[in-house]
Structure formats: C-alpha cells, structure tokens
C-alpha cells in the first residue's frame, strides 16, 4: 500500500479523524444517524453517522455514491438505494463504508463514497457500539458509595428506586444523549456520577462558607436528575431518541417517574418537593427546557454541576480532535464558543 495521503486507508474512527483533507478511509460501524434529504436541485443525499468503540463519525452520502449488498460471497450492486429494503432504514445496523475527507466552508467534512450492507450476524451491531471509558464496576462502586452517604429516608428511597424496583439494571448501561455528550453505552451512569461528585464538592464548600445546604437532598437530586433519559432515549444498539423524548422531554418524564416512586415509597412531602424541584429545574433556565428556575441552594448546585460536566465534556471532545500544533477548536454552536487547548 502506498503511504501518500490519497492512498491512505484507515479503519478506526479515531484514526479517521486524524486524516487531512483528501485522506481516504474505510471501516465498519453501527449506524447512529440515517436520514434522507434533498439538495437545492431536488436530488437526494444522506446525512449519516457511524459509530465504533472510538466514537461517532458524521458525514454525507451524495448521489455519486455506490451502494452494495455484501452479505454473501459475491458483492452485488444496489442501483436504487431509496427503494431498497436493505438501505431503507439503516439505524442500528452494521454498515461497511469507504470515503474521503473533503472540505466545506473551511471545515473538514467526511464524504462516504461506497456503502456496503454486510451480514448482521457475522458483524453484530453491538460489537461496534461505543461504551463509557470508565468501567461499569468502578462507576457502580462510586454510585453505591454516594447513596450510602444519604442516611435516613433519602438513602432508603434511593435504594428503593434504583435497586429494589430494578431501575438499576437499565440505568447502568443507558446513554446520556444521542450526541454532544456521553452518547454511548454507560454514558448516563458516567455523567450522573460525575455530576454528583462535583455537586457534593460544591455543597460541602458552600456549607463551609455559611450557606445552609442539605447534603442528602443535593446528592439525591444529582443522582436522579437525568432519570427521565431512560424513557427519552433507547439503545438500538446505538443511542436513539424516542418519540416521547422528542415531544415531552426527559425533564418532565424524569419528574413523573420520580414523583410516582416518591409517593409509592412514602417520602415526606417537604423532602420530596425539594428533590423534585432539583429534577424539574436542573437545566437552569426556561430557554434550555426547565419549567422553573433553580430556587434553592441544592437546585442551584446541581444545575451548575450538570452544566459544568456537559461543557467540560464538550471541551475534552473538541480539543481531543485538534491536530498537533493547533490550539483552538472549531466553533461549537451547542455551547456557543471555541475551545482552547493550552499547555499549562
């Protein structure tokens, strides 16, 4: 194989992201995003996202792409992918691909030139799904330790909801999003522990500064703040948003799940309201989906911890994709800024 840019073939998404303009790549991954769109001339093109254990690569499939059925020994061309049963909806299926790095408006873009429907038994989608880089065992140990810090009714309620009612079985593997942050298997648990860790540190500091902060309520609110994502998202096996998650949102659904469990457990009204307020306000503002604004020390702490973990994750992802020698990331609309990687 030649080693110049035009002939370079890379299979892993982490390596593909390091390629310069005109670099060529190939790979296998599970489809996390698949939608047909029309250009200004009315011709179809596809927005596509493929995931492997390293992350997600998003790109375009234009009209000049070639499509193939590669399930058998022979590679068969697919001449009309829009009408094909194979390529009608690829979400959650394993896809082979070849492509090239292009440039659009000064930014690198990934063009998928060839797509291959492969044997889903031989290449099962779940083996390509990205997972939390932190071990589930480590996260579970810390999660249980945080629950144990909540003595009395609050700790009993957390044990009741997560472990007695069986929420834990799915919670520990669920994604925290379908894009932007912790959008992978185990992402919800990783994000929840991180937020609770920061919230607990903030709460302890605020208490030392003379502000009255209820630590068990803060911990409980942090551990519960995103439980609505269990109904808002699903794994197919890549993260995907549900209809309810789209039209109702995880903030509302999380409060519904929590309040029903609090009533079933018999959590006292004042404590239940204080924790519920954290769940319903944790996005910090109505602009970002909170029906009410945080109005207690505990709610303000959890909201700020949640926002900080989200932004730090975005920073880490953005600077992690920078080429050697670059310090400033591309502009990220979701956080309305560019990020700086500096050597301190």
Domain count of the fold of the chain = 2
Given 86, 105, 128, which residue is the final one in a domain? 128
Instruction: Select from 73, 106, 128 the last residue of a domain.
Output: 128
Given a cut of 60, is residue 6 above it in pLDDT?
no
Show which of 73, 96, 128 is a domain's final residue.
128
In-domain check, residue 327:
no
pLDDT digits (tens, 9 = 90+) for 250-282: 999 999 999 999 999 999 999 999 999 999 999
Is position 259 within any domain? yes
151/24 same-domain check: no
Which backbone phi and psi does 289 adopt, to 5 degrees?
105, 5
Q: Which tokens go with 277?
A: 């307020």
pLDDT in tens, 65-108: 999 999 988 889 998 888 788 888 888 899 999 999 999 888 88
pLDDT bracket for residue 10 (50, 70, 90) = low
d(CA 76, CA 117): 10
User: pTM (2 decimals)?
Assistant: 0.82
In this prediction, residue 210 carries a pLDDT of: 96
Look up the domain containing 46 and give its range: 5-128
Strand boundaries in the chain, DSSP class E: 24-38, 44-52, 55-61, 66-69, 76-77, 94-104, 107-117, 233-235, 239-241
User: Does the residue 337 lie in any domain?
Assistant: no
The CA-to-CA distance between both ends of the chain, in Å, stands at: 40
Residue 299 C-beta-side C-alpha neighbours within 13 Å: 20
Q: How far are the Cα atoms of 2, 233, 276 from residue 201, in angstroms, in the given order?
A: 53, 29, 21
**pLDDT band at residue 42 using 50, 70 and 90 as cut-offs:** confident
> What's 265's domain CATH number?
1.10.3210.10
Residue 221 forms part of a structural domain: yes
Tell me what the pLDDT averaged over the chain comes to. Answer: 91
Nearest C-alpha neighbor of 254 from the set 270, 230, 272: 230
Is residue 326 in a domain? no
- Tell me the C-alpha distance between 305 and 294, whole Å: 12
Distance (Å, rounded) from C-alpha 217 to C-alpha 95?
46
């Amino acid at each position: 194989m030649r080693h110049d840019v035009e002939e370079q073939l890379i299979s892993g998404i982490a390596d593909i992201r390091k390629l310069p303009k005109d670099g060529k790549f190939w790979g296998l991954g599970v489809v996390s995003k698949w939608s047909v769109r029309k250009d200004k001339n009315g011709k179809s093109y596809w927005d596509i996202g493929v995931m492997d254990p390293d992350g997600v690569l998003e790109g375009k499939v234009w009209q000049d792409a070639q499509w193939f059925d590669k399930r058998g020994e022979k590679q068969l061309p697919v001449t009309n992918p829009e009408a094909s049963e194979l390529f009608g909806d690829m979400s959650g299926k394993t896809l082979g691909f070849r492509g090239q790095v292009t440039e659009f408006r000064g930014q690198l873009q990934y063009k998928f030139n060839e797509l291959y429907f492969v044997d889903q038994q031989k290449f099962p989608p779940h083996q390509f799904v990205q997972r939390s880089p932190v071990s589930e065992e480590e996260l579970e140990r810390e999660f249980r330790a945080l629950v144990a810090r909540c003595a009395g009714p609050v700790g009993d309620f957390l044990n009741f909801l997560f472990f007695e009612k069986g929420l834990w079985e799915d919670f520990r593997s669920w994604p925290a999003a379908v894009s932007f942050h912790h959008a992978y298997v185990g992402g919800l648990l990783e994000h929840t522990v991180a937020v609770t860790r920061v919230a607990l540190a903030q709460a302890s500091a605020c208490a030392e500064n003379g502000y009255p902060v209820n630590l068990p309520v803060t911990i409980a609110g942090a551990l519960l703040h995103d439980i609505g994502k269990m109904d808002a998202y699903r794994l197919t096996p890549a993260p995907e948003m549900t209809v309810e998650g789209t039209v109702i949102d995880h903030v509302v659904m999380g409060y519904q799940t929590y309040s029903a469990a609090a009533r079933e457990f018999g959590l006292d009204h004042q404590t239940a309201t204080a924790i519920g307020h954290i769940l319903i306000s944790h996005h910090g503002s109505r602009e970002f989906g909170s029906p009410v604004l945080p109005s207690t020390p505990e709610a303000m702490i959890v909201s700020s911890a949640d926002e900080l973990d989200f932004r730090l994750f975005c920073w880490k992802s953005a600077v992690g994709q920078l080429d050697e020698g670059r310090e400033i990331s591309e502009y990220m609309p979701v956080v309305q800024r560019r990020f700086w990687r500096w050597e301190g």
